[in-house]
Every structure is written in structure tokens, then in C-alpha cells.
Structure 1
Amino acid sequence: MSQAAAQQQRLPEPAHSRTTVTRPRVQLGLRTRCILYGVLAAAVLTGLIALGSRGFHWFDAALIGYVVATIFAVAAVTYKYSFWLARPPTGRYWRRSWRLFFSYENFRRYTALIPLAILDLFSQQFIRRRGLYRWIMHQCIFWGVLLSCCITFPLTFGWIRMTLTPAGEHLLWFFGFPLFAFRPESVLGFLIYHALDITALLLLVGLVLAFHRRFHDLALISIQRFGFDIVPLALLLAIVVSGLALTADSAWLGGAYYWYLSLAHEVFVVLWLISLPFGKFFHLIERPATVGIELYWKTGERTAMQRCARCGEEFAPARFIEDLKKTLLEVGEDYTLRHDSSPPGPEQALWWQDLCPACKRVARGQATLAALDPEGNRFL
């Protein structure tokens, strides 16, 4: 019987002998620092709103609800994101990724990798490999939300405005500077004034596909949670429907119900913004951080590779395994596969992370057999 199997018989699962040590003072200091980051981000955004609207001169007071909710969302997202980066797992790989990014050697060798990783982030090829239906759904929702935010926020903050020129054209201003003039009845004018309707229709397609999948995919139905999975999609659907209803009411009903529809639309948007830092769509904020993980892994492939302690096959960069061991120790997890009195550490002879995925499955199977049949008769 191999050494890994023998140790697995003594220890059916990776040991978790070290308990997490709570450090209230450290946690309190970290939380306070993250709160200050959030307050600073809110103050910076408020200053940018004042600057871009020329001292709130071009700010529409009727949109104050949107602005307050956005400032709160930015503060909460900054707080949660900075707290997330302060955790040992994310913090270690975050710092390592930035060091690799600014390395001249890596820049010279992997110049094409960075734009490809960014392109993969926006095209979401990792979802495309899971299925065309899911990819189309995610692309519609991703670009619908992203483009809508890129249009809505500058309009709300007073950064974008229109003025009428003596020639009867509309002049587009951004952040207090004139950009270009256009005829409102032209194709360009139609696209500019209906840009939010176009992005809303794109988002609507993605939401319809998402709801169809949520209600018909048995694998999803069995694990989905109403508050975490359904409510965010329902809020987006309410925003889309109420926003399109505003356009329909203006174009076909003469604005008869505009006040009620605008109030409902504002309520839905505010609820979605407030829930953004704490719900499902926070992964939109987290996802860009994964660009550095690909650089971290690719650059590690040219360094020493970790060999499996059981079969001897290379399965991961040694740098990645060592960082993983250090991170596990920092969070109070000991995955060493030995029962001695030596203090745990990444330099010990055998860790669970020293086994490749195939050998981990074999070790689990051997440990299960040993637990069911300790006499060695292999009788189940």
C-alpha cells in the first residue's frame, strides 16, 4: 500500500487541527479602515459630481434619489471590496498579481496575454465553454447592465447634457466640455436619445432567457434561493419594464402617466443600487480581479512545477501550491497529512495540496474502504 494510502487510513480527511484565532482588535481596525475607504470613495464621487455639473449648476434636483442611492452603493461597494481584498486568500493573490503585472520580464514575455485576458473578461469565453445558451444570456445581461450604467450615471450626475444651437442642432456636453452637434431627427440623434431603450431591450432578452432557465432547469431549481437568485433578476426586470414604459408613455400617451411611472422606476433603481453591494450582482465588481489570476498562472508555468507526492506527475506551478499552503495557515486551516508534534507549516513533508486531483480521488476512495473494512478484507 502506498504511503499516501497508509496515511489516509490513519486520517480519512485532511486534518483541520488548527482552529481559527479570532482577533477582535485586528478585525475592528480592519473594518474601521475599510469604512474610511468607503467614506472617501463617496466623498470623491460627490466631488466629481460637483465638478462635472459645474458646481451643481447642471444637476437636476429631481434625480436626487438616484444620486443618493448611487453614492451609498459606491461607499458600500468600496467597503466590501476593500474588506474582501484584505482577506488572506484574495489579498495574497491580489498583491502577487500586481507584482507580476509590473514585472518587466513578464511584460516582455506576456505582452499579448494582458489584452487577451481583458478581452476574455468582456467576451466571457469561460461561460461560452459551458454552453451557448448560457453565454448569450450572460452577454445580454452583462452588456445591458454595463451600457445602461455608462449612460445613466453621467446623465444623473449632470455630466452629460444637451443644449440647442442657433442652427437648430443639439449640442452634446460632457463634464462641462462641448463634444459635437447633431440633428435630433438624424439616425445619430435617434440612437443617442434612445440609447437607454436599446440597452434595456438587450437586457430584457437576457432576463427572459435567465428566467426561462431558472424555471425549467431542474439542476438550478434544486439549489437556487429566492432572495439571492430570483429577486435581483426581478428588480432588473422591473427597471427594464418601467423604463421602457416611460418611453412608451411619452411617445404614445402624451405623458399621461409619466409621473407615476417615473416614481416607480426610481424606486426600482434605488432598490437595485442599494442591494448591489450585498447581493448576487456584486460578482460584477469582483470579476475583474480574476484577470490577474490568469497572469499569475501563466507566468507560473515557466517556473518550477509541483509534482504529485503520490504519482510524480506535474499538476500546478509550485509557486501557486506554496502560496496556497501559506494562505491556509493564515486562515487557521492545517491540511498536513501527518500526526506528529511538529508545528504545521508549508515546508512539511506531505500536505493534502501536494497531491494531484486524480490522486486525491484515489486517496479518498482508499480512506473510505479502510473506514468501512478496517480488517482489510475489502468486503462492503
Structure 2
Amino acid sequence: MTQRRYMVDVLALLTIVVIAALIYVGSRGLRDFDAALIGYAVGTTFAIVGMVYRYTLWLGRPPTGRYFRAGWRHFLSWKNFRRYTLLIPKLWWTDIFAQTFIFRRGVWRWLMHMSIFWGVVISLLVTIPLTFGWFHLTLAGEDDYRIWFFGVSLFTFPLDTFISWSIFHALDYSAVLLLFGLAIAFWRRTNDAGLLATQRFSFDLMPLILLFAIAITGLALTASQLLWAGRYYSFISLTHEVVVVVWLISLPFGKFFHIVERPATIGITLYNTVNQEIDRSGPEQQGSRCARCGDQLPSMQFVRDLKATLVDLGQHYEMAERGTLQDYCPTCKRVMRGDAYYQLMQKRFL
């Protein structure tokens, strides 16, 4: 454990070095780095390092690590690539981009997740390059702006057009999208009896409150510029920065860390698909079966990995000549447990 924690610490320090180097290179030696955004840059760096730290610890758990390695092994297999060429793009669409598995649970719930997910993602895609100095705009003539990324000119666009307004106010679009999703989330969390019984303020509600504050103060900056002649802009800007930094600092340790964990489920689906296909079409053409009733179990590889994981955790379920407990289906496990209890208690069992 000590050695693994040391390796995680080293990886976190390397992440800081890499981010600092990317900021220096991407901002052309800090020439394009906006010092006014340094608070956002520090908060973002902390969030990235915190997520790398926690994600690495998460992968250090025996079940997670074994699934993760197996998923990448199957993904990098040329044989699997030819057989499951469309599976990974399909999973990215159904599990990440469109999250259709949530749509089956309810349209409003799906709209809530989509609005919050894409509101957060779009905001991060805009703010991270800006705060790191990778992305900036300069005048190109009298009526055009030029967009730069990592010191490379991408394109120019005219001022006073819908395109220019949309580029300058991209964060306003994401704020409105966030507010729509947050409105549904708050309604569910104040009316759903199941959520009311299980939700925790710090874990379930505080992240939503922070996102709401970010969206409101962000829109207030636009209102100050367009409607209030710049009044209160400094106060709103400082408040917005504080709220964003607090949310970024809490990101690796709160509810929204599952955004980082979620892509790993694609590897799990690939792992299950490949192993089940092996069971059906392999040399033995049969999967693992319950040692008592003969019912189908998950794939043979899954059962082997489960046994190895439990050994890694120091849990042993050998039953002498009857094999291990993982060789039986859930129903037979309950029957065997009841039978063992009956043999122990005899008449007192009744």
C-alpha cells in the first residue's frame, strides 16, 4: 500500500509538471496567458491533479484494476477490433454522448442528465483553453477577429454577426443549458420520495447548488455588460471566479467525479461481450455453469477473475471437495447456506 501511494504521489507531481509545461508551450512562453484568469488556472490544475490522484487510487483496487487492464487488452486486440469494429463507437454514443440507457428510465430524467452533462462539458471545453492561454483572439483588420490555438491561427470571423456573438457568448449558451437541467434536478430532488430519503446535502445537493451559482453569475456578467452599462461587473466577476474555483476544487471528491469514471464502463461492456462470445464459440462452446444445478453463469473468464480478485482482497471461499463458492449460482448459494445452517442448528433451525 505504501509503495502504491508513493507511485500515486509521483504521478500527481508529474501531472503538475506536464500541465505547467503545456501552459508554457501553449501560451507561447506565457505571452498569451491572461494573468486575470490565474485563479481559474490554479483551480483547474488542482482539479486535474486531484482527478488523476483519485483515478489512480481507484484503479489500484483489485476489481477495478483487473477490469481496466482486461478492457484495454481486449480493445488493443486486432482480432477483437475486426470482430467488434462498431461496438466501441456505439458504446461511446449510447453510454457517453447520448446516454440512451437513461432515456429508457424516463424522458425528463434523460433531458436532465443531457443538459447538465453537456452544459458542464461545453463550459470546460471553452474555459480550460482560455485560462491556460492556449486559446485567444486578436483583431485581424478593422472588422474581423482571428482565433488562435496553441499559437496556430485557426480562422477569422467578422464582427457584429450572429457567429461572432455566439462565439463570444458560448458560455451563456452552456449556462442556459445548465439551468434547464438543474431546474429538473431540483424539482426531482424536492418531489421524489426515494431521492428525499437517500440524498445527502454535501454529496447530492451542494454540487448542483454550485453549478446553479456558476450559471447565474455567468449570465449576470453578460447582463452587466449588455444591460447595466458595466455596473457591478467587478463584484460579479470576483463572485463568479470564487464559485467556479470552489466547484473545481470539489470536483475530484464529489458527485461529478463519475463523469471521469463513466468511460471505463465501455471497457467493462467490451470485456463482457468478448468473454461471452468466447464461451459461445470457443473450443468447448459452453460457458461456465453452476456446479450444483447446471444453470448458466457469467463467462468463464469472469468467474476466474472474480476468484482472483477475492484472493487479492484476502477473501477465500474454498469448500474442499465442493470447489469454491463462486462456482455456484446465487440461488444455489442461498440453498447451500440454508442447508449448512440447518445442519448446524438441527431442530432449533425451525
- TM-score with structure 2 setting the length: 0.92
1:107 paired residue number: 81
Pairing partner for 2:326 from 353, 359, 371: 353
Q: Which residue of 2 aligns with 1:263?
A: 238
C-alpha distance in 2, partners of 1:222/1:335? 36
Deviations 1:224-277 (A, max 9, x none): 111111111111111111111111111100111010001110110110111111
1:38-90 residue CA offsets vs partner (Å, 9 max, x unmatched) = 11111111111111111111111111111111111111111111111122111
How far has the Cα of 1:138 moved from its partner? 0.8
SS at match of 1:311: coil
- 1:280 corresponds in structure 2 to 255
Query: Greater relative contact order (Cα 8 A, min sep 6): structure 1 or 2?
Result: 1
The counterpart of 1:177, out of the listed 152, 166, 169, is 152
In structure 2, what is the Cα distance between the partners aligned to 1:350 and 1:222?
42
Deviations 1:332-366 (A, max 9, x none): 12344x3x5xxxxxxx74433333345456666x4
Residue 97 (str. 1) matches residue 71 (str. 2): yes
Count residues with an aligned counterpart. 342
Gaps of 5+ in 2: 280-286
Of 184, 196, 218, the match for 2:193: 218
Question: Does 2:140 correspond to 1:140?
Answer: no
Cα distance in 1 between the residues matched to 2:322 and 2:339: 20
Q: 1:372 to 1:147 in 2, by over 3 A?
A: farther
Q: Which has the higher helix share?
A: 2
Letter in 2 for 1:236: L
Going from structure 1 to structure 2, the CA distance change for 1:368 and 1:283 (only over 3 Å counts) comes to farther
Contact 1:38 1:77 in 2 (8 A): no
Question: Which residue is 1:23 aligned to?
Answer: none
Provide the residue aligned with 1:321 in structure 2.
303
In the superposition, the TM-score normalised over structure 1's length comes to: 0.85
Equivalent residue, structure 2, for 1:293: 268
Q: 1:301 and 1:50 mapped to 2: Cα distance?
A: 48
Cα root mean square deviation, aligned: 2.1
| Identical counterparts, % of pairs | 49
Asked if 1:118 is matched to 2:100, the reply is: no
1:133 Cα deviation (Å)?
2.1
Compared CA separation, residues 82 and 54, structure 1 to 2 (3 A): same
Instruction: Give the direction of change, closer, same or farther, for the CA distance of 1:185–1:96 in structure 2 (3 Å limit).
Output: same
2: distance between equivalents of 1:210 and 1:126?
18
Contact 1:38–1:74, Cα closer than 8 Å, also in 2: no
